[in-house]
Amino acid sequence: MIDVTIFEGTDGDPLKRVYFKNTKGWIIRESFYNQSINQSINQSINQSINQSINQSINQSINQSINQSINQSINQSINQSINQSINQSINQSINQSIN
């Protein structure tokens, strides 16, 4: 728990008169708020980095999956076409011989 004590200031800004007591003693409110701001900035930076990394990983995975699927589909189509052509050619040759 943080103890808050108000000290009178001369500039009339209530925020500048707030001091926090922690385990190490008294710290001025600027230090407390700077800590909060730095946490916020670091959180934002880390979120951005993680989003970028995850996006890159997902893109790579999706590319790989799509490539594999497309390869499989194309192989199947080509196999089917070639089979059909060969059957047709063989049928035509056999008919011609007979």
Token representation of residue 40: 């916020």
Token representation of residue 61: 């995975």
CA 76 distance to own-chain centroid: 34
Residue-wise pLDDT for 24-58, tens only, equals: 555 555 555 667 777 888 899 999 999 999 999 99
> Which uninterrupted H or E stretch holds 12?
none
85-89 long-range Cβ contacts below 8 angstroms, 24+ apart? none
Token representation of residue 38: 């730095």
Calculate mean pLDDT across residues 81-96: 93
For residues 83 and 79, give the distance between their C-alpha atoms in angstroms, rounded to a whole number. 6
